[in-house]
């Protein structure tokens, strides 16, 4: 069967790249021919792109701006240079499109038997170029199977307009199978669309650590240490990390660069390679993070971790997976002390048992939706 996988715009987020690769690889393992459709933001014309670059260059010369000058859509492509060779390992099956019209044309000509909305925050209107593309608004009359695998609303509140909500209700009735990544997403689908969605795992969790170890081990790194990954760096988070490291007698290492800091010099924003990023979790003794996929890979590699709640980027993602695995005490909230978290040990046997059940359920959903049984 020929399957199209419509994904979140591929950019410098390690989680974005790895969840795309994980679902693509699982579908391939199940025997499907997969084409990844990378729905990028609209390309700027040569004139507008040049004008923006000139404006940023002037800003650099006059105001000392140190950020990126050249962008591709929303994302400065310079900072992906160390990630590109990993993307190239499966890029022959990636097709980038830059508008709804281009997406529709490609799918119409693709002879696909099924199309799947992939994971990450593909159902969060403010995070994607056109959220209705991820509800297959462009493909209402096309006869292939329409499936979702673990899209996320990102937050526990409904962010769609009334007209979008009505349209989503209409389109949802055409789906062969609907699944979401968070329990909060199940509730949102029920309350606002009147549909019963299945809760499934993030695609990265469809694989065990054996799948990722050969990638992580390609980057040599000293073993041990308190390894930290913060999307939104703050002095408070640094103090928490340093306090934990001191109490554990560990050296502190930071996995990430200043990738998310738009005002940082480009050389300081260059994202670590996928191999180096994974190695940060693979070799660490203790992990302190504020990122969803950093939590996921701490779990995959069975590393003791603490996650600092990141309300700006959405808390429901953290709460859903942690509650499912009995790890809710790893979430450091305003009322939680560091000592409380450090006292609790993780029962990895229990976590793995729960994870195996959820993994089997998630793969079963995918198989049934594609076979339409």
Site of tokens 């990844």: 36
Residue 66 lies in a domain: no
pLDDT of 74 > 70? The answer is no
In this predicted structure, what is the pLDDT of residue 143? 92
In this predicted structure, what is the pLDDT of residue 49? 63
Tokens of 197: 């969605």
pLDDT of 75 > 70? The answer is no
In this predicted structure, what is the pLDDT of residue 149? 98
Quick: pLDDT tens for 338-371: 777 777 889 999 999 999 999 999 999 999 999 9
Pair (154, 269) in one structural domain: no
Pair (188, 267) in one structural domain: no
Work out the pLDDT band at 121, boundaries 50, 70, 90: very high
What is the CATH classification number for the domain harbouring 305? Answer: 3.40.50
Tokens of 37: 């459709």
How much is the mean pLDDT over the chain?
91
Integer-rounded Cα Rg, in Å, for the chain is 21
**Is residue 310 within 8 Å of 232, Cβ to Cβ?**
yes
Pair (322, 218) in one structural domain: yes
> Residue-wise over 324-345: b if at least 16 C-beta within 10 A, else e?
bbebeebbbeeeeeeeebeeee
**Is residue 112 within 8 Å of 3, Cβ to Cβ?**
yes
C-alpha to C-alpha distances, 242 to 225, 237, 287, 292, 332, nearest whole angstrom? 11, 9, 12, 21, 15
Pair (117, 220) in one structural domain: no
Residue 57 lies in a domain: no
Which residues have C-beta within 8 Å of that of residue 278, sequence separation ≥ 6? 18, 212, 215, 216, 219, 297
Pair (337, 222) in one structural domain: yes
CB atoms within 10 A of CB 190: 12
Pair (31, 171) in one structural domain: yes
Please give, one letter per residue, the 3-state secondary structure of the chain: CEEEEEECCCCCCHHHHHHHHHHHHHHHHCCCEEEEEEECCCCCCHHHHHHHHHHHHHHHHHHCCCCCCCCECCECHHHHCCCHHHHHCCHHHEEEECCHHHHHHHHHHCCCCEEEECCECCCCHHHCCCHHHHHCHHHCCCCCEEEECCECCCCCCCCCCHHHHHHHHHHHCCCCECEECCHHHHHHHHHHHCCCCEECCCHHHHCCHHHHHHHHCCCCCCCCCEEEECCCCCHHHHHHHHHHHHHHCCCEEECCCCCCCCCCCHHHHCCCCHHHHHHHHHCCCEEEECCHHHHHHHHHCCCEEEEECCHHHCCHHHHHHHHHCCCHHHEECCCCCHHHHHHCCCCHHHHHHHHHHHHHHHHHHHHHHHHCC
In this predicted structure, what is the pLDDT of residue 339? 76
pLDDT of 119 > 80? The answer is yes
Pair (213, 284) in one structural domain: yes
Pair (32, 165) in one structural domain: yes
Which residues have C-beta within 8 Å of that of residue 288, sequence separation ≥ 6? 226, 227, 228, 229, 237, 240, 241, 244, 305, 306, 307, 308
Pair (259, 315) in one structural domain: yes
Quick: pLDDT tens for 14-69: 999 999 999 999 999 999 999 999 999 987 666 666 776 777 777 777 776 666 66
How far is the C-alpha of 201 from the C-alpha of 179, rounded, in Å?
A: 9
Residue 114 domain boundaries = 2-44+73-206+357-371
C-alpha to C-alpha distances, 201 to 29, 70, 175, 322, 354, nearest whole angstrom? 17, 36, 19, 12, 12
Pair (80, 202) in one structural domain: yes
Please give, one letter per residue, the 3-state secondary structure of 178-196: CEECCHHHHHHHHHHHCCC
Quick: pLDDT tens for 187-215: 999 999 999 999 999 999 999 999 999 99
Of 260-269, 290-299, 303-312, 343-352, minimum mean pLDDT range:
260-269
What is the CATH classification number for the domain harbouring 366? Answer: 3.40.50.2000
Pair (149, 161) in one structural domain: yes
pLDDT of 120 > 60? The answer is yes
Quote the crossing angle between the two packed helices 14-29 and 292-300, to the nearest 10°: 50
What does the pLDDT average to over 3-13? 95
Of 33-37, 144-148, 166-170, 223-227, minimum mean pLDDT range:
223-227
Residue 55 lies in a domain: no
Q: How big is the chain, counted in residues?
A: 373
Strand-pairing partners, residue 252, are 226
Residue 62 lies in a domain: no
Quick: pLDDT tens for 243-271: 999 999 999 999 988 888 877 887 888 99
Please give, one letter per residue, the 3-state secondary structure of 261-279: CCCCCHHHHCCCCHHHHHH
Residue 135 lies in a domain: yes
pLDDT of 165 > 80? The answer is yes
Residue 52 lies in a domain: no
Q: How many CA atoms lie within 13 A of 282 on its CB side?
A: 21
pLDDT of 281 > 60? The answer is yes
Domain count for the chain, please give it.
2
Residue 256 lies in a domain: yes
Residue 67 lies in a domain: no
In this predicted structure, what is the pLDDT of residue 72? 57
Tokens of 131: 């959220």
Pair (218, 336) in one structural domain: yes
């Amino acid at each position: 069967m020929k399957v199209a996988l419509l994904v979140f715009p591929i950019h410098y987020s390690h989680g974005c790249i790895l969840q795309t690769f994980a679902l693509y690889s699982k579908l391939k393992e199940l025997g499907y021919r997969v084409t990844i459709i990378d729905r990028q933001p609209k390309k700027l014309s040569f004139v507008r792109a040049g004008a923006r670059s000139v404006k940023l260059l002037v800003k650099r010369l006059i105001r000392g701006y140190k950020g990126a000058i050249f962008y591709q859509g929303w994302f400065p492509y310079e900072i992906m240079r160390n990630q590109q060779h990993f993307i190239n390992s499966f890029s022959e099956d990636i097709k980038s499109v830059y508008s709804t019209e281009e997406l529709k044309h490609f799918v119409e000509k693709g002879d696909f038997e099924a199309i799947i909305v992939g994971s990450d925050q593909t159902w969060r209107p403010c995070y994607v170029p056109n959220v209705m593309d991820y509800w297959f608004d462009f493909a209402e009359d096309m006869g292939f199977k329409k499936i979702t695998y673990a899209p996320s609303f990102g937050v526990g509140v409904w962010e769609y307009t009334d007209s979008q909500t009505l349209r989503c209700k209409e389109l949802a009735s055409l789906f062969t199978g609907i699944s979401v990544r968070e329990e909060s997403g199940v509730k949102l689908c029920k309350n606002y669309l009147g549909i019963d969605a299945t809760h499934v795992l993030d695609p990265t969790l469809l694989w065990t650590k054996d799948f990722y170890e050969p990638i992580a081990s390609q980057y040599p790194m000293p073993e041990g240490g308190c390894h930290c990954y913060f999307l939104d760096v703050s002095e408070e988070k640094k103090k928490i990390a340093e306090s934990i490291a001191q109490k554990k007698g560990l050296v502190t290492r930071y996995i990430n660069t200043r990738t998310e800091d738009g005002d940082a010099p480009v050389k300081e924003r260059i994202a670590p390679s996928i191999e180096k990023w994974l190695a940060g979790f693979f070799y660490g003794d203790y992990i302190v993070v504020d990122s969803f996929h950093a939590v996921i890979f701490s779990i995959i590699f069975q590393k003791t971790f603490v996650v600092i709640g990141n309300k700006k980027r959405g808390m429901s993602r953290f709460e859903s997976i942690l509650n499912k695995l009995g790890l809710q005490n790893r979430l450091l909230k305003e009322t939680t002390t560091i000592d409380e978290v450090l006292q609790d040990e993780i029962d990895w046997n229990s976590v793995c048992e729960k994870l195996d059940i959820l993994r089997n359920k998630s793969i079963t959903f995918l198989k049934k939706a594609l076979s339409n049984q």
